[in-house]
């Protein structure tokens, strides 16, 4: 076991898969000698050469389009988009090409590619380096959307994503890149996609969260425990495809639910969790589902601390549903 940060675990996953499988290639802006803005690809070019870890022009649609072509021809590309905020020029390539390839070809072709990108707030990046766009992509059949929150999951989920036969959008919460450390097994291991992780057991309230909101929810649950509220915390990990049965089981187990994410509230992923529970578990609910989210505004700079859900806001929601 190694004690790694989340960004080190990402690098370890890339190194592990590239070492084991020569078809794995890494491409993106500054991913080569520089190792990327956050050093996720550090030393990969030195070890595997510029043919397998190489820089691209500043063209997100070109990066993803190239990766699709590589995937169709027997390679397993891992494309990095420097910040998720800049992924939108490649939106058509992702949702209309990569995600549709298996369907439109009747299964003759697949797109076994991964698109890695840091997302979310927490580094005072302002409106162009802090957005959370997961809901845009969760609306796309044929695509998988994965978000780790621990170093262990970051490595295991990324290896699973690289080995998956279909396109995976791998969103990395940059606020956690160096803020969390944990034990990570050496060598190859996987964490199954479309599975949730129980972060904390509890019988009174269930909190669903993912990414950088997981440690926030944990702290709120600890504070709630001091008030006698036993809170269960579930890390969703894979948003698409979602483990719906696990979500419903967790919701039914307490009858009181809070959903936390840093993306805006309107049409955010929390709305899908709320709808799922309303359709299939409403008879178990003892209180309305509460959502704690970012606000329906552009992401602010100086007011980032107010925009992002924090322990206080999550605790308020836990208390509200517990005493409804």
Strand ranges (E), the chain: 2-5, 24-28, 53-55, 76-80, 114-119, 144-146, 168-173, 181-184, 197-200, 205-209, 231-235, 238-240, 257-264, 290-294
pLDDT above 70 as % of the chain = 100
**Measured between alpha carbons, how far is residue 250 from residues 136, 168, 265 in Å?**
25, 26, 22
- Kind of pairing, strands 53-55 and 24-28? parallel
pLDDT at residue 106 is higher than 90 = yes
Q: Give the residue from 204, 211, 197 showing the smallest Cα distance to 146.
A: 211
In this prediction, residues 302-318 reach a mean pLDDT of 96
Percent over 90 (pLDDT), the chain = 97
Architecture of the domain delimited by 197-322: 3-Layer(aba) Sandwich (3.40)
128: pLDDT strictly greater than 90: yes
Residue 164 confidence class, pLDDT cut points 50, 70, 90: very high
- pLDDT, one tens digit per residue, over 167-197 is 999 999 999 999 999 999 999 999 999 999 9
For 246, other C-beta atoms within 10 Å of its C-beta total: 16
**How far apart (Å, rounded) are the C-alpha atoms in residues 283 and 93?**
42
Q: Minimal CA–CA distance to 217: which of 272, 168, 165, 176?
A: 176
Rounded to an integer, what distance in angstroms lies between the CA atom of residue 307 and that of residue 172? 19
8 Cβ contact list (under 8 Å, min separation 6): 151, 184
Mean pLDDT of 290-316: 96
The Cα–Cα gap between 224 and 222 comes to 5
pLDDT in tens, 40-77: 999 999 999 999 999 999 999 999 999 999 999 999 99
How confident is the model over 225-245, as a mean pLDDT? 98
Q: What is the torsion angle, in degrees rounded to the nearest 10, for the CA atoms of residue 234, residue 239, residue 243 and residue 245?
A: 70
SS3 260: strand
Characterize 7-22 residue by residue with b for buried, 16 or more Cβ atoms within 10 angstroms of its Cβ, and e for exposed. bbbbbbbbbbbbeeee
Q: How far apart are CA 286 and CA 301, in angstroms?
A: 38
Tell me the C-alpha distance between 268 and 71, whole Å. 30
- Please check whether the two domains, 2-184 and 197-322, share a CATH topology: yes
Q: State how far the Cα of 289 lies from the Cα of 310, in Å rounded to an integer.
A: 18
- Is the distance from CB of 256 to CB of 286 less than 8 angstroms? yes
Which residue has tokens 């669903």?
208
Q: Domain ranges in the chain?
A: 2-184, 197-322
Mean pLDDT of 213-226: 98
Q: Which fold has domain 2-184?
A: Rossmann fold (3.40.50)
Who has greater pLDDT, 302 or 308? 308
Q: Which residues are catalytic?
A: 129
- What is the pLDDT at residue 303? 92
Nearest alpha carbon to residue 240 among 155, 137, 159, 318:
137
If you ran DSSP here, which 8-state letter would residue 245 be given?
Answer: H
pLDDT at 19: 98
Confidence of residue 23 (pLDDT cuts 50, 70, 90): very high
Q: What is the pLDDT of residues 72-99, one digit of tens each?
A: 999 999 999 999 999 999 999 999 999 9
pLDDT at 93: 98
| pLDDT for residue 1 is more than 90 | no
């Amino acid at each position: 076991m190694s004690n790694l940060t989340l960004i080190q675990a990402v690098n370890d996953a890339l190194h592990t898969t590239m070492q084991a499988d020569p078809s794995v290639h890494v491409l993106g802006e500054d991913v080569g000698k520089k190792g990327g803005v956050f050093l996720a690809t550090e030393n990969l070019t030195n070890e595997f050469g510029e043919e397998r870890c190489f820089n691209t022009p500043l063209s997100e649609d070109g990066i993803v389009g190239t990766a699709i072509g590589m995937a169709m021809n027997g390679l397993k590309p891992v494309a990095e988009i420097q910040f998720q905020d800049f992924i939108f020029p490649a939106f058509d390539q992702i949702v209309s090409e990569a995600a549709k390839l298996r369907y439109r070809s009747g299964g003759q072709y697949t797109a076994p590619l991964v698109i890695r990108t840091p997302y979310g707030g927490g580094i005072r990046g302002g409106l162009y380096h802090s957005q959370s766009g997961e809901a845009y992509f969760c609306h796309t059949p044929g695509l998988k959307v994965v978000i780790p929150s621990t170093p262990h999951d970051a490595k295991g989920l990324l290896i699973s994503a690289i080995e998956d036969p279909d396109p995976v959008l791998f969103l990395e919460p940059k606020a956690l890149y160096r803020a969390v450390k944990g034990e990570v097994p050496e060598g190859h291991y996987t964490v199954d996609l479309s599975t949730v992780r129980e972060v904390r057991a509890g019988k009174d309230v269930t909190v669903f969260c993912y990414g950088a909101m997981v440690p926030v929810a944990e702290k709120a649950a600890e504070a709630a425990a001091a008030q006698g509220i036993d809170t269960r915390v579930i890390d969703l990990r894979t948003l698409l495809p979602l483990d719906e049965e696990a979500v419903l089981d967790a919701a039914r187990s307490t009858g009181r639910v809070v959903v936390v994410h840093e993306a805006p509230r309107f049409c955010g992923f929390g709305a899908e969790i709320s709808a799922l529970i309303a359709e299939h578990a409403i008879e178990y609910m003892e209180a309305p589902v509460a959502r704690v989210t970012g606000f329906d505004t552009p992401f602010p700079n100086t007011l980032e601390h107010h925009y992002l859900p924090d322990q206080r806001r999550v605790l308020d929601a836990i208390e509200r549903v517990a005493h409804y």
